[in-house]
Amino acid sequence: MPVPLATGRMPVPLYWQDASSTCYWQDASSTLLAGCQFHSTGRMPVPLYWQDASSTLLAGCQFHTTNNKQQTTNNQQPTTNNKQQTTNNQQQTTNDQQPTTNNQQQTTMDTLDAVYQRRAVKHFDPEHQITAEEEQKLLEATIQAPTSFNIQHWRFVILRDPELRQKIRKELGNDQAQMTDASLLILFTADMKAWQKDPQRYWQNAPEAVAELLVGWMGPFHEGREWLQRDEAQRSIGMAMQTLMLTAKAMGYDSCPMIGFDIDKVAELVKLPEDHVMGPMVAIGKKVKDAWPKPGQLPLSELVVDNSFST
d(CA 229, CA 276): 10
Contact 278, 272 (CB under 8 A): yes
Cβ of residue 31: shortest distance to ligand FMN, in angstroms? 18
Q: Which one of the spans 127-135, 141-149, 251-259, 268-276 is the region binding ligand FMN (CB under 6 A)?
A: 251-259
What track of x and - describes contact with ligand FMN for positions 254 through 283 (by CB under 6 A)?
--xxxxx-------------------x---
Q: Pick from 46, 120, 228, 267: which binds ligand FMN (CB under 6 A)?
A: 120
The size of the interface with ligand FMN (CB under 6 A), counted in residues, is 14
d(CA 127, CA 106): 22
Q: What is the per-residue burial (b if ≥16 Cβ within 10 Å, else e) of 67-97?
A: eeeebbeeeeeebeebeeebeeebeebeeeb
d(CA 165, CA 269): 11
- Three-state SS letters, 189-215: EEECCHHHCCHHHHHCCCCHHHHHHHH
Burial class (CB in 10 A: 0-12, 13-18, 19+), 248: buried
- What 3-state DSSP class applies to 134? helix
The answer to the question of residue 119 lying near ligand FMN (CB under 6 A) is: yes
Q: Which one of the spans 63-71, 92-100, 139-147, 291-299 is the region binding ligand FMN (CB under 6 A)?
A: 291-299
Cβ of residue 81: shortest distance to ligand FMN, in angstroms? 19
Which CB, 174 or 218, lies closer to ligand FMN? 174
d(CA 260, CA 244): 19
What track of x and - describes contact with ligand FMN for positions 208 through 247 (by CB under 6 A)?
----------------------------------------
Cβ of residue 27: shortest distance to ligand FMN, in angstroms? 8
The answer to the question of residue 177 lying near ligand FMN (CB under 6 A) is: no
Binding footprint of ligand FMN on the chain (CB under 6 A) = 49, 119-120, 122, 176, 256-260, 280, 291, 294-295
